[in-house]
Amino acid sequence: MQYDLIIGIDPAGIGSNGIVIYSNETNNIVFNETFKTKTVLESKNLYKEYFLLTKKHFINQKILVIVENFFLSSKQLLTNPLATPKIIGALMVLIQDVMNWDYFENHPKNKNKITDYKGNIKLTKHEQDAYKHIQYYLKNHKKILIFDNYLRKL
């Protein structure tokens, strides 16, 4: 399925959250932001504002939102390890039930397979992560379409 816009999200819940909006039509980043929050509620409300503005400016566009999933390893030291899973759950509800957009969770290790953005926009670490999830999806989705087209010819 071809999407007009793909939104990549590196969620924190509390702390630094990254968001990148990528246009498939222009193959460019059309928006990027890192915002810091002190509560999960504050994060949810800011994401909701971004989503509503996006919906207003990109009427009738097919939109996919990719959210980095959360895995806590024994090497991580987090002061509030529940904040990220909470915001991921809130994002799922906002994206699927409020915005009626497609939702996809991507594994954190997948971003390691993609090189950093080298364009004319300076991205923060969190925006780079969000961008890499978009690129990972595009790279792997293209392979699926090629394979699907191949099977149809058989």
pLDDT in tens, 23-32: 999 999 999 9
What is the full per-residue pLDDT of the chain (154 aa) written as tens digits?
A: 589 999 999 999 899 999 999 999 999 999 999 999 999 999 999 999 999 999 999 999 999 999 999 765 556 555 566 888 899 999 999 999 999 999 999 998 888 888 889 888 999 999 999 999 999 999 987 655 555 555 556 5
Residue 79 DSSP label: S
The pLDDT of residue 71 = 63
Please tell me the number of Cα atoms within 13 Å of 66 on its side-chain side. 25
Domains defined for the chain, CATH in brackets: 5-153 (3.30.420.10)
Give the C-alpha separation, 65 to 22, whole Å.
Answer: 10
Strand runs labelled E in 43-130: 63-68, 102-106
The model's pTM? 0.86
Nearest to 7 by CA among 52, 44, 73, 54: 54
The pLDDT of residue 113 = 85
Radius of gyration of the chain (CA): 16
DSSP string, 26-57: TTEEEEEEEEEESSHHHHHHHHHHHHHHHHHH
Greatest extent of the chain over all pairs of C-alpha atoms, in Å: 55
Tens-place pLDDT, residues 113-129: 888 898 889 999 999 99
SS3 of residue 143 by DSSP: helix
The pLDDT of residue 141 = 79
